[in-house]
Amino acid sequence: MKRSHQHTSYLPPIITLAVAGFVGLIVVFALDEYWDLPARSFGAMLKPIRPFEFSIKVVAVLCLFITVLGVLREAILRIQRLSHMLTLCAWCRRVSVDGHWISIDQFLQQRKNTTSSVGLCPDCYGKRASEKPAADLTVSRSLRSA
Protein backbone atom coordinates (compact mmCIF):
# COMPACT_ATOMS: atom_id res chain seq x y z
CA MET A 1 0.00 0.00 0.00
CA LYS A 2 1.50 3.32 -1.06
CA ARG A 3 1.31 6.33 1.15
CA SER A 4 0.46 9.63 -0.41
CA HIS A 5 2.93 12.32 0.51
CA GLN A 6 1.24 15.51 1.56
CA HIS A 7 3.20 18.71 1.20
CA THR A 8 3.61 20.30 4.59
CA SER A 9 5.36 23.58 4.93
CA TYR A 10 8.04 23.82 7.56
CA LEU A 11 8.35 27.08 9.45
CA PRO A 12 11.89 27.36 10.82
CA PRO A 13 12.13 28.35 14.50
CA ILE A 14 14.01 31.53 13.59
CA ILE A 15 10.96 32.80 11.69
CA THR A 16 8.71 32.02 14.65
CA LEU A 17 11.09 33.87 16.97
CA ALA A 18 11.21 36.86 14.63
CA VAL A 19 7.40 37.04 14.44
CA ALA A 20 7.13 36.76 18.24
CA GLY A 21 9.75 39.46 18.72
CA PHE A 22 8.09 41.94 16.40
CA VAL A 23 4.62 41.25 17.82
CA GLY A 24 6.09 41.79 21.29
CA LEU A 25 7.58 45.08 20.16
CA ILE A 26 4.20 46.27 18.87
CA VAL A 27 2.58 45.23 22.18
CA VAL A 28 5.19 47.25 24.10
CA PHE A 29 4.47 50.27 21.90
CA ALA A 30 0.72 49.85 22.51
CA LEU A 31 1.22 49.59 26.27
CA ASP A 32 3.41 52.67 26.20
CA GLU A 33 0.98 54.68 24.10
CA TYR A 34 -2.38 53.73 25.58
CA TRP A 35 -1.53 52.98 29.22
CA ASP A 36 1.62 55.09 29.55
CA LEU A 37 3.32 52.47 31.70
CA PRO A 38 6.50 54.48 32.42
CA ALA A 39 4.48 57.38 33.84
CA ARG A 40 2.23 55.05 35.85
CA SER A 41 5.24 53.12 37.16
CA PHE A 42 7.03 56.20 38.48
CA GLY A 43 3.99 58.26 39.48
CA ALA A 44 4.57 60.92 36.85
CA MET A 45 1.94 62.87 34.98
CA LEU A 46 0.23 60.86 32.24
CA LYS A 47 0.76 62.06 28.68
CA PRO A 48 -2.16 62.39 26.27
CA ILE A 49 -2.90 59.50 23.92
CA ARG A 50 -1.58 60.08 20.38
CA PRO A 51 -2.81 57.33 18.03
CA PHE A 52 -0.93 58.92 15.12
CA GLU A 53 2.39 58.47 16.94
CA PHE A 54 1.56 54.85 17.70
CA SER A 55 0.62 54.27 14.03
CA ILE A 56 3.97 55.65 12.85
CA LYS A 57 5.83 53.32 15.24
CA VAL A 58 3.81 50.31 14.07
CA VAL A 59 4.42 51.11 10.40
CA ALA A 60 8.16 51.47 11.08
CA VAL A 61 8.22 48.13 12.94
CA LEU A 62 6.29 46.42 10.12
CA CYS A 63 8.72 47.78 7.50
CA LEU A 64 11.63 46.50 9.56
CA PHE A 65 9.83 43.18 10.01
CA ILE A 66 9.34 42.77 6.25
CA THR A 67 13.03 43.52 5.68
CA VAL A 68 14.12 41.01 8.33
CA LEU A 69 11.81 38.34 6.89
CA GLY A 70 13.28 38.89 3.42
CA VAL A 71 16.83 38.49 4.72
CA LEU A 72 15.86 35.40 6.73
CA ARG A 73 14.14 33.88 3.71
CA GLU A 74 17.27 34.31 1.59
CA ALA A 75 19.45 32.83 4.35
CA ILE A 76 17.14 29.82 4.73
CA LEU A 77 17.08 29.23 0.96
CA ARG A 78 20.88 29.40 0.84
CA ILE A 79 21.19 26.91 3.69
CA GLN A 80 18.80 24.57 1.88
CA ARG A 81 20.82 24.86 -1.35
CA LEU A 82 24.07 24.19 0.51
CA SER A 83 22.61 21.19 2.30
CA HIS A 84 21.81 19.58 -1.06
CA MET A 85 25.35 19.92 -2.36
CA LEU A 86 27.27 16.81 -3.32
CA THR A 87 30.52 16.11 -1.42
CA LEU A 88 33.08 14.75 -3.86
CA CYS A 89 36.62 13.64 -2.93
CA ALA A 90 39.19 15.82 -4.70
CA TRP A 91 41.59 12.90 -5.13
CA CYS A 92 39.62 9.77 -5.94
CA ARG A 93 36.33 11.41 -7.05
CA ARG A 94 34.21 9.23 -4.74
CA VAL A 95 30.97 10.69 -3.37
CA SER A 96 29.92 10.91 0.29
CA VAL A 97 26.43 9.48 0.81
CA ASP A 98 25.15 9.17 4.39
CA GLY A 99 28.70 8.92 5.74
CA HIS A 100 29.83 6.27 3.23
CA TRP A 101 32.13 6.96 0.29
CA ILE A 102 30.99 5.36 -2.97
CA SER A 103 32.09 5.72 -6.57
CA ILE A 104 30.41 8.31 -8.75
CA ASP A 105 29.06 5.46 -10.91
CA GLN A 106 27.38 3.85 -7.89
CA PHE A 107 25.98 7.22 -6.87
CA LEU A 108 24.50 7.85 -10.31
CA GLN A 109 22.94 4.40 -10.39
CA GLN A 110 21.41 4.87 -6.93
CA ARG A 111 20.10 8.39 -7.40
CA LYS A 112 19.29 8.76 -11.07
CA ASN A 113 19.34 5.19 -12.36
CA THR A 114 21.97 6.20 -14.89
CA THR A 115 25.47 5.13 -15.77
CA SER A 116 28.49 7.14 -16.79
CA SER A 117 31.07 6.95 -19.52
CA VAL A 118 34.45 8.52 -20.14
CA GLY A 119 35.00 11.11 -22.85
CA LEU A 120 36.78 14.34 -23.66
CA CYS A 121 35.17 17.73 -23.76
CA PRO A 122 36.03 19.91 -26.79
CA ASP A 123 38.43 22.07 -24.75
CA CYS A 124 40.43 19.10 -23.44
CA TYR A 125 40.41 17.49 -26.87
CA GLY A 126 41.83 20.69 -28.36
CA LYS A 127 44.55 20.86 -25.69
CA ARG A 128 45.41 17.19 -26.20
CA ALA A 129 45.55 17.57 -29.97
CA SER A 130 47.86 20.58 -29.70
CA GLU A 131 50.39 18.75 -27.47
CA LYS A 132 53.67 17.60 -28.96
CA PRO A 133 53.69 14.18 -30.67
CA ALA A 134 56.55 13.22 -28.35
CA ALA A 135 54.08 13.09 -25.49
CA ASP A 136 52.08 10.50 -27.44
CA LEU A 137 55.19 8.39 -27.90
CA THR A 138 55.96 8.52 -24.19
CA VAL A 139 52.43 7.50 -23.30
CA SER A 140 52.32 4.66 -25.87
CA ARG A 141 55.74 3.32 -24.70
CA SER A 142 54.63 3.30 -21.08
CA LEU A 143 51.42 1.49 -22.03
CA ARG A 144 53.36 -1.18 -23.96
CA SER A 145 55.72 -1.83 -21.08
CA ALA A 146 52.83 -2.21 -18.59
C-beta separation of 18 from 26 below 8 A: no
Per-residue pLDDT of the chain (146 residues), as tens digits, is: 444 444 445 667 888 899 999 999 999 888 888 888 778 888 888 888 888 888 998 999 999 999 999 999 998 888 888 777 778 888 888 888 888 898 888 887 877 666 667 777 787 888 877 875 655 545 555 555 55
d(CA 124, CA 137): 19
DSSP 49: P
Question: Amino acid letter at 100?
Answer: H
Which residues, including other chains, have CB under 8 Å from residue 87's CB and lie 6 or more apart?
95, 96
